[in-house]
Amino acid sequence: MLQVIFLGTAGSLPTPDRSLPAILVNREGDLLLFDCGEGTQRQMMIARTGMMRLSHIFLTHLHADHILGIPGLLETMAFQGRENPLVIAGPPRTARMVSILNGLGCCVRDFEIRVLEMRPGDSVRMSGYTVTAIATQHSVPSLGYVLLEDMRPGRFNRERAIEIGVPVGPLFGRLQRGESVEIDGRVVRPEDVLGAPRPGRKIVYSGDTRPTNEIEEASRNADLLIHDGALADDMIDWAVETKHTTAGEAAALAARAGVRRLVLTHISSRYSEDTTPLLNDARKIFPETMIASDLMRIEVPLRDA
């Protein structure tokens, strides 16, 4: 299971239909939050995602619309009796920001908050996957993130296994897990019965940024690219000035990188009534484009090759 839940999809300020930036990834029960705008804990309640299994919050940058949901989320988890540590990762100055937020109000928590300041290329190793920071280009120090699963074993060739004398049963499972087995004094290796290794899934989240070569390279063959698509193409001058990306620019990057699906988020309030201009600009370049909406869920399937 690899599911992405868009908790907040607005840019800079909320609208009646869009909360501030927050994206939750559920990978086999591991919960990771990318950015944490105001009211994120309420969005999690509405989405019924749970909070207690949340292990990491990855911040793209420290603009208020991406971080002001942290105090409320921490207090809600404390009220619910959380005991497990929580990691808050982000660009330089994240530790200072967390310290300031911790000083707000009279807070009593029974869980540890660990801060991790990351730079492009830094990785956090998880069970079966890695989250890596990538360089982005915004008006303050900023990062994007790549979630990349480990390579998976190749497809098990049952007929070949039987042909070379592996009895049907538990030895099949051991071979599929990458273990060699001994049968009548000879060793059967996983590569004797498995096809070529298969790639894990890849999700890229740009955060607020201009389109960059670093994001494009990191997005190569990604299953899902979640990119800043704040503005329509006729707002290109404003996008350059504010260091955001137009829908067409994001689509062109997705096409060059060969991604499977593009989701535009951080939607400007200019498009509160109608996001059609964004979608039209993007789809004429990259048809597999969607506009994120609050509480939208996307399942990212495994691929065979």
Rounded distance, CA 198 to CA 153, Å? 6
Mean pLDDT by 10 residues, the chain (305 residues): 97 94 97 97 97 97 96 93 96 95 78 96 97 97 97 84 86 84 87 86 98 98 97 97 98 98 97 96 98 98 81
The answer, as to whether pTM is greater than 0.85, is yes
Q: Which residue's structure tokens are 């990458």?
A: 178
Q: Are 285 and 252 in contact (CB under 8 A)?
A: yes
DSSP characters for 25-94? EEETTEEEEE---TTHHHHHHHHT--STTEEEEE-S---HHHHTTHHHHHHHHHHTT--S-EEEEESTTH
Closest by Cα among 87, 1, 16, 14 to 49: 1
- The span from the CA of 246 to the CA of 134, in Å, is 20
Nearest to 110 by CA among 79, 89, 67, 87: 79
pLDDT of residue 287: 98
Tokens at 251, concatenated: 């689509």
Determine the pLDDT at residue 39: 94
Catalytic residues: 65
Cβ 204 vs Cβ 218: under 8 Å: yes
| pLDDT for 104 | 78
Q: Which residues contact 176 (CB under 8 A, 6 or more apart)?
A: 153, 156, 190, 194
Of the candidates 226, 295, 297, which has an alpha carbon nearest to the alpha carbon of residue 263? 226
Q: What is the DSSP string of the chain?
A: -EEEEEEE-BSSS-BTTBPSSEEEEEETTEEEEE---TTHHHHHHHHT--STTEEEEE-S---HHHHTTHHHHHHHHHHTT--S-EEEEESTTHHHHHHHHHTSS----SS-EEEEE--TT-EEE-SSEEEEEEE---SSS-EEEEEEEPPBPPPB-HHHHHHTTPPSSHHHHHHHTT--EEETTEEE-HHHHB-S-B---EEEE--S----HHHHHHTTT-SEEEEE--B-GGGHHHHHHHT--BHHHHHHHHHHHT-S-EEEESB-GGGSS--HHHHHHHHTT-SSEEE--TTEEEE------
Query: What separation in angstroms does the CA of 162 have from each of 156, 159, 166, 170, 194?
Result: 11, 5, 5, 13, 13
Q: What average pLDDT does the structure give for the chain? A: 94
